[in-house]
Amino acid sequence: MGSVTYRNGIAILQLIVFPFILVASIFIWRRTGLKVGSRIWRYPFTLSLLRIAGSICSLLTISNKSQRIYIAEAVCELIGIAPLLLTYIGVLRQIDIDEDIPPRSSRLITLITFIGLILGIAGVSTADDGNYKNGLTKGAMGIFLAVFVIYVLMAGWLWIRIYGMKRFQKKLYLAIALSLPFVLVRLVYSAIGDYTEISRFQLFGDNTVYLCMSVLEEIVAMVITMVLGTSAVLESDFVRLGSAQQSSEPKNEVV
């Protein structure tokens, strides 16, 4: 039986916080409609499951040093960026009740992010001797960085296009604005780890850097989003996406 390490303590922190984020995402999902909401709020739900699973794997290493457990922990850690980014792409979609951004564009960004996710999983799964930095994982990180830039441009475009925002839209925009710096730092941390040889930024490198630039960044960003997201869907002027589209011109929406 091994001892509890600094890394295990970080896992315990995630096990405490992410179940609350998971519950909040389910609540918002239900309020926005199970079918339409699934295109948006399933992503923080998925991120929470990944972080909980990764934390459990970390704690299992206390008594079991199996390489498979370390690989499972690495997979949960590295692919979590995809649902993190898709959460904010989804929030933009929730704001954009009049479809100023063509739905096809949002679906294309989602597809590109999933391609990055697949590359990331393949890169981690085929890694040798715990070296998770290879062409596939670097390619996945490049896709995630590009998606983030597109997301920021989309958010700016939507801000210009929407006039007389409803209260719920303002709260969701505030969630985006407040979370953006934390998501950026999270991506910078992973990018440095993937594209440089600085040991402190590697997957199992310096635990303090990992805590401050990855774990806490995700937690703060998601807590902000869940709190403001919950408040937004409880607003009296909240509009479900399906309701907004039905009240305007007829459109054939493709999932």
Q: Does 237 reside within a domain?
A: yes
Q: Does 1 reside within a domain?
A: no
Total of domains in the chain: 1
Q: Does 161 reside within a domain?
A: yes
Who's near 7: CB < 8 A, 6+ residues apart?
58, 204, 207, 210
Q: Does 126 reside within a domain?
A: yes
CATH classification at residue 186: 1.20.1070.10
Whole-number percent of the chain with pLDDT over 90: 45
Q: Does 255 reside within a domain?
A: no
**Could you tell me the residue range of the domain that residue 66 belongs to?**
6-247
Q: What is the pLDDT of residues 191-245, one digit of tens each?
A: 998 888 888 887 777 899 999 999 999 999 999 999 999 999 999 888 887 654 4
Structure tokens at 241: 């996406």
pLDDT for 253 beyond 50? no
Q: What is the pLDDT of residues 136-152, one digit of tens each?
A: 888 989 999 999 999 99
Who's near 235: CB < 8 A, 6+ residues apart?
166, 167, 168, 171
Q: What is the pLDDT of residues 164-202, one digit of tens each?
A: 788 999 999 999 999 999 999 999 999 998 888 888 887
**Residue 1 pLDDT:** 57
Which of the four pLDDT bands, split at 50, 70 and 90, describes residue 132?
low
Amino acid at site 199: S
Structure tokens at 127: 């890694």
pLDDT averaged over every residue in the chain:
85
Cβ–Cβ < 8 Å for 144, 130: no
Q: Does 254 reside within a domain?
A: no
From the list 144, 90, 74, 155, the residue with the least C-alpha distance to 115 is 144
Q: Does 219 reside within a domain?
A: yes
**Residue 16 pLDDT:** 94
Q: Does 252 reside within a domain?
A: no
**Residue 128 pLDDT:** 64
Residue entry with tokens 């063509």: 102
pTM of the prediction? 0.86
Which of the four pLDDT bands, split at 50, 70 and 90, describes residue 254?
very low
From the list 254, 81, 97, the residue with the least C-alpha distance to 172 is 97
